[in-house]
Amino acid sequence: MSYVKVILGDPFTLPENCKSDEEGTLRQEQPQSRQVAAHRLGVWIPEESFKDRINQSSSVVFNRAVYTDSGVYVLACGGRVVHIQVEVVVSSDASAKEGEAVSLPCYFSTTAGTCWSVSWAKDGEVVLHWHSCDVKSNWAADDRLSLSADWLSHGDLSLNLQQTRKNDEANYFCFIQKEGREKQKGNPAAVKLKVHERSPDQITLTPPPPPASPAQKTREAVGLGTPAAVSITAVVCLIIGGVVGGLLKSYYHRCASGRHSEGRSGPRHEHVNGALALLSPPQHVNGCPSNTTHAASPV
């Protein structure tokens, strides 16, 4: 018996066929009995109930699997009779970007104290086989594939895939088998993996600005550079200028008053060693510079 496993909604082709010069029939026997198609002159012609999903072709191709397609089919070509088992399973979807890790879910109610084996198939080809009692027989088609360490005690048969690649995109099927029993499907029985290409990095790096000088940091700290800060600075400068100007005016006024008093009092004369000397006033009066000192002259 040939075996076909397909995901609900996906197309599939029966692996057996009639020769081009043979007449034949295809019918489904289990779980229901119905005619599917007839082979004449090298072409399969579908029955009315299958015309929307089987085109006239040299092979039996279902363009879309429905759940009732599951069952046993009988292909009769000339004197040959072939049985084909078709199983339609419901899948879950998984996706990842290239380079990422992804876990394809699958679960089953396992029991301790019994030997179990797990298999994962990619588009019909086994890519991983794990055995709970014979670890030496464990193998994977790629070292990026693995199961969790506690898969048996937790019933977690999920397939872990590292560093996903574009060619990993496929349909994956999960199987579990108890020692001495027939192989069973996990839940979900299949996973459709979609791998998205990683887009190139569009970020353009801008070189950092040069470090700010201490003066710039000070201006930034106090908020200088804005119109309001410039106005405030101008007002402060005007106030300081007014204060300094007032002090200078007061200073020069005091000095002028001192010189005027000095002029009224006149120079002082003293007899020194029998000579009359004209003494100059002090060099500074109240912190102001005075007139030039006159040299003494005899009288």
Task: Examine residue 13 and state whether it is found in any structural domain, yes or no.
Answer: yes
- The answer to whether residue 22 scores a pLDDT higher than 70 is yes
Q: Are residues 82 and 13 in the same domain?
A: yes
Tokens of 232: 């405030």
Write out the residue range of the structural domain in which residue 239 sits: 223-299
Percent of the chain with pLDDT over 90: 58
For 87-108, what is the mean pLDDT? Answer: 95
Task: Examine residue 218 and state whether it is found in any structural domain, yes or no.
Answer: no
Task: Examine residue 206 and state whether it is found in any structural domain, yes or no.
Answer: no
**CB within 8 A of 62, min separation 6: which ones?**
11, 12, 13, 53, 54, 69
pLDDT in tens, 201-253: 633 444 555 665 555 544 444 444 445 555 666 666 677 767 666 666 666 66
Instruction: Name the domain count of the chain.
Output: 3
Q: Are residues 97 and 72 in the same domain?
A: no
Q: How many CB atoms lie within 10 A of CB 27?
A: 16
Q: Are residues 171 and 230 in the same domain?
A: no
Task: Examine residue 207 and state whether it is found in any structural domain, yes or no.
Answer: no
- The answer to whether residue 106 scores a pLDDT higher than 80 is yes
Task: Examine residue 215 and state whether it is found in any structural domain, yes or no.
Answer: no
Residues found in the chain: 299
Give the pLDDT of residue 297. 42
Q: Are residues 101 and 187 in the same domain?
A: yes
Task: Examine residue 204 and state whether it is found in any structural domain, yes or no.
Answer: no
Q: Are residues 170 and 102 in the same domain?
A: yes
Tokens of 93: 């979807």
pLDDT in tens, 6-18: 999 999 999 999 9
Q: What is the CA radius of gyration of the chain?
A: 52
Compute the distance between CA of residue 59 and CA of residue 61 in angstroms, rounded to an integer. 6
pLDDT in tens, 248-290: 666 666 665 555 444 444 455 444 455 444 444 545 545 555 5
